[in-house]
Structure 1
Amino acid sequence: MKKLLYLIVIFATGVGLAVYLTQKPLEKIEDKSDLIKVFNPEPNEKIKTPLLISGEARGTWFFEASFPIELLDERGNSLAIVVAQAKDDWMTANFVPFEATLDFPPSLSGKGTLIFKKDNPSGLPEFDDEFSLPIVFEPQESIKVKAFVNTSKMDPEFSCNKVFPVEREVVKTEAVARAALEELLKGPTRKELAEEFFTSLNPGVKIQRLTVENGTAKVDFDETLQFQVGGSCRVSAIRAQISNTLKQFPTVEDVVISIDNRTEDILQP
């Protein structure tokens, strides 16, 4: 009996030691809680896109009520950058709450890092500072959609209604038309901007309703779509971007654009 108990203890000890040795230690995090605190996500948390980031930082971490957050993969490659916005008066030495929503490819896996960078308008390195937060990507099933944008490279004369597709990866969904349109409204990525793609749409445009029936897509936007928009060329470009983005799907033959349920007096040249 004693021999059996002895063997059980030896076996349990061996299993425990094996588990301990195979566990990867969590990355050490530099303590900067006197300058910035991140509430979401938590260190080494599994994240999905879109990621809501929240926390608080000293007012000195901001400039003009914002600071950049960069997402890196395990090799240190930059995947995305988003601007965190202060949710209160930032002109203070006290802590100020901030939020940001970060989009990144849903199929990512492995480890990554969020870099919270102190905004330094002076550009002087002695005023630089940053806080690194390790995360783990939780892969999601994804699909590819296209957003149609303008480009000065392939269309140097800017033909107004001539648009070109850029491919985006999104979380798999049955509402693919809306997903594609949401990607269009985000504007060009840094990579696309470097390749001379641009958009004629205003930033911050919201979809209020989207339906597809009998081959016709009806999409209603908020007033931001036409805010300070002038000129027949830009109006044509906006309509072309929206229509072509929706017409990539075989179920869409025609597109009706409205703003606050109005179709007649919108997007005037």
Structure 2
Amino acid sequence: MNRKILIAIGIIFAIIAIVVILRSPEDSWICQNGQWVKHGNPSSPMPTSGCGTSQSTQEPDIIVTSPQSNQIITSPLSIEGKAKGSWYFEAVAPVRLLDDKGNVLASGQIQTQGDWMTSDYVPFKAELTFSYNATTSGTLLFHNDNPSGLPENDKEFNVSVQLVPIQTLNVNAYFNNNNLDPQISCNKVFPVQRQIAKTQTVAMAAVSELLKGPSDAEKSQGYYTNINPGVKIQKMTIENGVAKADFDETLETAVGGSCRVSAIRVQITETLKQFPTVQSVIISINGRTEDILQP
């Protein structure tokens, strides 16, 4: 009798186990498209843990907001974004622009716009100037500044971009050069060719190139400027052969001596008179033409 009872109990437990096994997949919560969905009639409440999401998502070290991925870019290129403080060293980090063959078109540094001695994100900006002759894809390559020099500490981030050629033209900016003028005349200036993006305001663009001063390569050839750094041109008009160029007060700040004043006037005048539509030049400062650039 006892044996029959034990056999019956065993059969009952086996049936219960089979039912549980068969029912369990139908009575549970299933993760679908990021949401918990009932499958059958589960007896347990909906899970509170995340569905389809990683609980250990790591923030990126650097986020570039401009340019966007696959954006068409032109020169000069403005770059903006933010990076963790550890990405920088002495508030900067390197950035390069490569073409589709890996050739470096431009290189520079991103510069923080705040205190970089933090573990939080710090905004950055940069500007790259470059030239290219054909439509191609490119890569903006960001590197962390790694003062340790250890390869295991190197990090990089890249943004794919599209390079489309822009039309350019050549203009001259006029500078002094003692090698070409051994007598060091005050009123002798010499042209340096600059390539700029094609524009309808070419005279304004030429003066802007003049205000940048000579490049390092041009300086090595003896070119120099008598114009103060940081001068801004505020307005330019050309009518009836007369170019009127208005500058801010920086043009005459701490300027003394008849030779320097003469050189400044000649640099501006000759830069504008390269254009056939300009026969004479009137220089003004904040609208004033009298009592400016006095020796």
Normalising to structure 2: TM-score of the pair? 0.64
Matches within 5 A, 1:139-154: 139-154=165-180
CA–CA separation in structure 2 for the residues paired with 1:55 and 1:43: 13
The equivalent of 1:262 in structure 2 is 288
CA–CA separation in structure 2 for the residues paired with 1:114 and 1:87: 20
Matches within 5 A, 1:153-172: 153-155=179-181, 158-172=184-198
* RMSD of aligned residue pairs (Cα, Å): 3.5
The equivalent of 1:39 in structure 2 is 65
CA–CA separation in structure 1 for the residues paired with 2:98 and 2:176: 28
The equivalent of 1:110 in structure 2 is 136
CA–CA separation in structure 2 for the residues paired with 1:217 and 1:95: 48
Point out where structure 1 has 5 or more consecutive residues left out of the alignment.
1-31
Number of residue-to-residue matches in the alignment: 234
Residue in structure 2 matching 1:178, options 204, 215, 222: 204
Cα deviation digits, residues 79-118 of structure 1 (max 9, x gap): 5556654433445453222223444347564345545566
Q: 1:84 to 1:203 in 2, by over 3 A?
A: farther
CA–CA separation in structure 2 for the residues paired with 1:194 and 1:78: 24
Matched, 1:206 2:239: no
Cα deviation digits, residues 178-235 of structure 1 (max 9, x gap): 1211222223334434434333323332221100111111111112222333333332
* Greater RCO structure (CA 8 Å; 6+ sep): 1
Structure 1, 226-235 or 237-246: larger mean CA deviation: 226-235
**Cα distance, 1:267 vs. partner?**
2.3
**Cα distance, 1:177 vs. partner?**
0.7
CA–CA separation in structure 1 for the residues paired with 2:89 and 2:285: 35
Indicate if the aligned counterparts of 1:49 and 1:103 stay in contact, CA closer than 8 A: yes
Point out where structure 2 has 5 or more consecutive residues left out of the alignment.
1-58
Normalising to structure 1: TM-score of the pair? 0.69
CA–CA separation in structure 1 for the residues paired with 2:138 and 2:183: 41
**Cα distance, 1:40 vs. partner?**
1.2
CA–CA separation in structure 1 for the residues paired with 2:179 and 2:103: 26
Matches within 5 A, 1:8-87: 33-34=60-61, 36-59=62-85, 61=88, 63=90, 69-71=95-97, 79-80=105-106, 84-87=110-113
Q: Larger Cα Rg: Structure 1 or Structure 2?
A: 2
